[in-house]
A and B are shown apart, each in its own frame.
Chain A
Amino acid sequence: MNNRHCRIRLTPDYANLPVLESFVMECPLLDGSETNRAMLVVTEYFDNIVMHGKGLSKKPVDISVSKNGRVRIALAYRTSNFGDMTAADASAKPYFDSVTRRYRGLGLRMCQNLAAEISYRQGLFKSFITIIL
């Protein structure tokens, strides 16, 4: 962390969610309201990457938070199915999943409503999700 960026590199594992939460809580760039929105959005995308990312094995997810007026959160990672994520974002609708016995499809809807802007970019080696709060 420095006074312009907070960064963390995590392996894509649910066990790292508490680490990510601590990272957001301790990021000095964010005020209270921004911390809450950043917490919900960044943990939701990390969760999605863990759940849906393919070909990840233990390749890390790089997460950065910066602020220049508005808060910018970026996630960069390697996956072979980035198109599925962007397609899901366009068609996110809640549904009841009888296997997990809970409603799903809420996460991207939450992120869309919490963020001012979300963009996806497939790079040569990595996929990038950028969220502006």
Chain B
Amino acid sequence: MENIAIVEKSGPNYALLEVSGTINSYTYTEFQEKVYALIKETNLVLDLSRVTNLSSSGLGVLMAALDDGESIGKKLYIMKPSEIVRLAIESTGFNEMFTVIYSLTEVI
């Protein structure tokens, strides 16, 4: 099984990270660094459609990035979450905190 691959792209008012593979304690550091750096600068869209596992380490990063973005007026979007990502987020009970989108046209 692959570990993690992250492709960075940019749009007019957002940065996009296309993430594939698994976000767990073994792999989350690279993901964390990119997410924290980008949310300080712009709205951030995370395409998680090809994520095969999302552990509490990865969820902890997402929640901290939500806080960081909110404090400076930037938004974090979860785009097209895979079934396991959706399940992981729901299992925390914090799913209402996350903005889930299915197209980049939904980025405000």
Interface residues of A (CB under 8 A from B): 14-15, 17-18, 21-22, 25, 32, 36-37, 39-40, 43-44, 47, 50-51, 94, 96-97, 100-104, 106-107, 109-111, 113-114
Query: Does residue B70 face the partner (Cβ distance < 8 Å to A)?
Result: no
Contact between chains at A17 and B93 (CB < 8 Å): no
Using known A-B contacts A36-B84, A40-B84, A103-B60, determine if residue A110 contacts B26 with beta carbons closer than 8 Å: no
Beyond A36-B87, A51-B25, A102-B32, 15 additional contacts (C-beta under 8 Å) are A17-B26, A25-B52, A39-B84, A40-B53, A40-B55, A40-B87, A43-B55, A47-B24, A96-B64, A101-B64, A107-B56, A109-B91, A109-B93, A113-B90, A113-B91
Chain A contacts for B94, CB-based, 8 A: 94
Q: Can you spell out 20 A-B residue pairs with CB atoms less than 8 angstroms apart?
A: A14-B24, A14-B25, A17-B22, A21-B22, A40-B55, A43-B53, A47-B25, A47-B55, A47-B56, A96-B67, A101-B36, A102-B63, A103-B60, A104-B60, A106-B63, A109-B92, A110-B56, A110-B59, A113-B92, A113-B93
Closest to A26 in B: B1
Chain B contacts for A47, CB-based, 8 A: 24-25, 55-57
Chain B contacts for A18, CB-based, 8 A: 1, 3, 22, 26
Query: Does residue B6 face the partner (Cβ distance < 8 Å to A)?
Result: no
Interface residues of B (CB under 8 A from A): 1, 3, 22, 24-26, 32, 36, 52-57, 59-61, 63-64, 67, 83-84, 87-88, 90-94
Alpha-carbon distance A96/B52, docked complex (angstroms): 25
Chain A contacts for B55, CB-based, 8 A: 40, 43-44, 47, 107
Chain B contacts for A37, CB-based, 8 A: 87
Alpha-carbon distance A94/B26, docked complex (angstroms): 20
For residue A79, give the distance in angstroms from its CB to the closest CB of chain B. 18
For residue B85, give the distance in angstroms from its CB to the closest CB of chain A. 10
Chain A contacts for B93, CB-based, 8 A: 109, 113
For residue A94, give the distance in angstroms from its CB to the closest CB of chain B. 7
Contact between chains at A103 and B53 (CB < 8 Å): no
